[in-house]
Amino acid sequence: MTVRLHHPARKSFDSVVDDFFNSIPGLWNEGHTGLNLAPVNIDETAEGFQLEVSVPGINKEEIKVNVDKGLLTISYDKKDDNKSEGIKSVRREFSRKSFKRSFTIAEQVNADAIEAKYENGILKLFLPKKEQVKETPKQVVVQ
């Protein structure tokens, strides 16, 4: 097996341009800020909101989901790697980095009934909508 190290100064021009524009928040790639953010998909249904957070390689016990004053926060704090004596990384293309994502919850969400499930590297949250109080139509008599 041969391991070739890629020197960062030898990046192709396209890669340099892509990296530059992708690091500007909200310019071309909405949601990508160049920071360590877990990618999120958010869908709305009649019953509520579904969030899918891509967090592969993390134990579900290490993921924190909190709701406080209308703010939903999803976070993971990286623990130090416990490498054995004498082992030196030659190349690391993936790593588990700490992240924190926060979302303002709409008033129509029932924060007490939020559900979270983690499977196959995807954290799935369901934020149910509050039941709307249905007003019965009234007939107004014109005098």
pLDDT at 61: 93
Assess if residue 44 is contained within a domain.
yes
Determine the Cα–Cα distance for residues 114 and 68; give it in Å rounded to an integer.
12
Token pair belonging to 80: 């130090």
pLDDT band at 9 (very low <50, low <70, confident <90, very high): low
Q: CATH code at 53?
A: 2.60.40.790
Number of structural domains (the chain) is: 1
Stretch 91-107: mean pLDDT: 84
- Domain limits at 110? 37-79+95-128
Assess if residue 31 is contained within a domain.
no
pLDDT at 36: 62
Assess if residue 6 is contained within a domain.
no
HEC string of 62-119 equals: HEEEEEECCEEEEEECCCCCCCCCCCCCCCCCCCCCCEEEEEECCCCECHHHCEEEEE
Determine the Cα–Cα distance for residues 101 and 74; give it in Å rounded to an integer.
5
Assess if residue 4 is contained within a domain.
no
pTM, full prediction: 0.62
pLDDT at 54: 93
Assess if residue 71 is contained within a domain.
yes
Which residues sit opposite 5 in a β-bridge? Answer: none
Assess if residue 74 is contained within a domain.
yes
Which residues sit opposite 75 in a β-bridge? Answer: 64, 100
Which residues sit opposite 125 in a β-bridge? Answer: 51, 116
